[in-house]
Amino acid sequence: MKKINIIQSLVIIGLLLTSCTDNFEEINTNPNAPEAVSANLLTSTVTSEITRKLTYEGYSDGNTITQLMAKNNFPGFGQFDWGDQGMWNFFYGILPEISDILEISRAEETKNSTYEGIALTMRALCFANLTDLYGNVPYSEALAGKAEGIFTPVYDDQELIYNGVLQDLADADAALAKGMNITGVTGDVIYDGNPEQWRKLANSLRLRYLLRISKQRDVSAEMQAVLSAGNFIQTNADNAVLIYSGTSNTDSWPESTGRIGGFDEKSLCTTALGYFSTFNDPRLDVWFDRNSDGKWEGIPIGLNQDSARAYDDANSPSRLDVNLFYYSATDAQAYIIKNSEVQFILAEAAERGIIAGDAATYYNAGIRASLSYWGVADTDIDTYLAQPEVAYDGSLELLLTQKTIALWNVDYQGWFNYRRTGLPALKPGPNTLNGSLYPVRFLYPSSEQTLNTNNYKAAVDAMGGDNINVKGWWETGNRY
């Protein structure tokens, strides 16, 4: 009897196991978590996160390294006390999602040239920022983990990376020129899937990066070709901006969701106050508030903690405009590139003879675009441009000072310009931790030393060290 019961039990267990095996895939598939993510969902993540991250980095640290702003508390960044700044993990974390958009856009059943152009543009933007911030970085094997099983990628040199970045942007221009529509929700928070606008963005980035490498390479023909074609940002209506809705913390100006104490740590830098005073610049009143004595007061960059607190107590430097940058979740915008930057790019290129055109015309257009973006009236802009201190006289120092001001909140672009040109002249603060040198790169994250040791060492050897004073390829050219 026991034997029969045992046999029956085994039969029942076998049937149950067979049934479970037959339905294993169905049982272990979450119907609410589809295997394939659509291009519009990925595009929403990519366009919003990259734009928000770049702008907040500019607001937090980019403005500090160009001495538009300084901190009266926790001032270590201004002293050049730099460790891992976190940009490495951000870009390498989001690049696989861009690759997914690219793969979807090229698949036969989901082919769409506009999504392809968006993905190529954002990939170029990410890799350009990575190499501009760090120097040699993983590029050719950076995204080969899933497909090829390469999890310790080699570091490529900046010239190779820039060749790829510029090729991606040229390919993006060609893909977007097809003008393919996206039906339904696009996911694109910048231009809502408009291929004409994305084409202008791709070509504006081409102008930015061509000028960046112009100390190393003759870029005249390429810049002139973009200029002649006319498909680049030329008005503020074309600006690549993200307008916050304010419906959630992630869709609000980031500073508006934090504590007021953290906001109050950021002040007007004495260097910027000098610019604003010389130019009688209305952007001072837009970005900053007068202190409790009704005066404009700055704080030097590079003070240590004790000195910064003492200076703050004694002088009450001007804080950032609290209504624009703290109380409002939607007034401040995030952006990738604006018309003002493009006009200053063309102004410098014309001044250096890289392109045809009148440098003063582009220079004036750059100032007009910046002031207009920040709400200055046309008549006041005319008055501003007519000042002898502002009127263009062929001075690259003047041009690049105005460009630096216009690059307020635009990630680290002002710093990149300084590294290429040395203009406007910037000096370390009194309590700098980097001697007399102004830093020119971020440090590789410490994780690379342990997880990708051999390739990390090879990159460090090729660059001449892993410190914040090692110049990159595009900084060391001798064409000017």
Mean pLDDT, rounded, of the chain: 93
Q: How is residue 467 annotated by DSSP? A: S
Q: What is the pLDDT of residues 430-458, one digit of tens each?
A: 999 999 999 999 999 999 999 999 999 99
145 phi-psi bin (left φ>0, alpha ψ -120 to 50, beta other): alpha
Task: Determine whether 372 is exposed, middle or buried from the number of CB atoms within 10 Å of its CB (0-12, 13-18, 19+).
Answer: middle
SS3 337: strand
| CA atoms within 13 Å, Cβ hemisphere of 158 | 23
SS3 127: helix
Q: Model's pTM, two decimal places?
A: 0.92
How is residue 110 written in tokens?
């989901």
The candidate with the shortest Cα–Cα distance to 409, out of 351, 331, 315, 478, is: 331
pLDDT on residue 47: 98
> Bridge partners of 70?
267
The candidate with the shortest Cα–Cα distance to 230, out of 256, 200, 262, is: 200
How is residue 389 written in tokens?
């201190």
How is residue 354 written in tokens?
């890289």
3-state per-residue secondary structure call for 362-405? HHHHHHHHHHHHCCCCHHHHHHHHCCCCCCCCCCHHHHHHHHHH
121 Cβ contact partners less than 8 Å away, ≥ 6 residues apart: 168, 169, 172, 198, 201, 202, 205
pLDDT on residue 85: 85
3-state per-residue secondary structure call for 41-84? HHHHHHHHHHHHHHHHHHHHHHHHHCCCEEECCCCHHHHCCCCC
> Bridge partners of 242?
334
> Bridge partners of 269?
299
Extended beta strands in 92-138, E state: 137-138
Q: What is the pLDDT of residues 324-359, one digit of tens each?
A: 999 999 999 999 999 999 999 999 999 999 999 999
Which amino acid is it at 100? D
For residues 144-153, average pLDDT: 92
In Å, how far are 176, 235, 277, 293, 406 from 368, measured between CA atoms?
Answer: 29, 10, 18, 31, 10
* C-alpha span between 384 and 155 (Å, rounded): 47
Helix, strand, coil share (%) of the chain residues, nearest 5: 55, 5, 40
Question: In this predicted structure, which of 5-14, 136-145, 212-221 has the lowest mean pLDDT?
Answer: 5-14
Question: In this predicted structure, which of 66-70, 81-85, 379-383 has the lowest mean pLDDT?
Answer: 81-85
Kind plus residue range of the DSSP H or E element containing 464: none
Q: Which fold has domain 39-254+330-475?
A: 1.25.40
> Percent of the chain beyond pLDDT 70?
92
Q: What is the pLDDT of residues 246-304, one digit of tens each?
A: 999 999 999 999 999 999 999 999 999 999 999 999 999 999 999 999 999 999 999 99
pLDDT on residue 36: 65
pLDDT range class, residue 34, cuts 50, 70, 90: very low
Extended beta strands in 183-332, E state: 240-242, 266-268
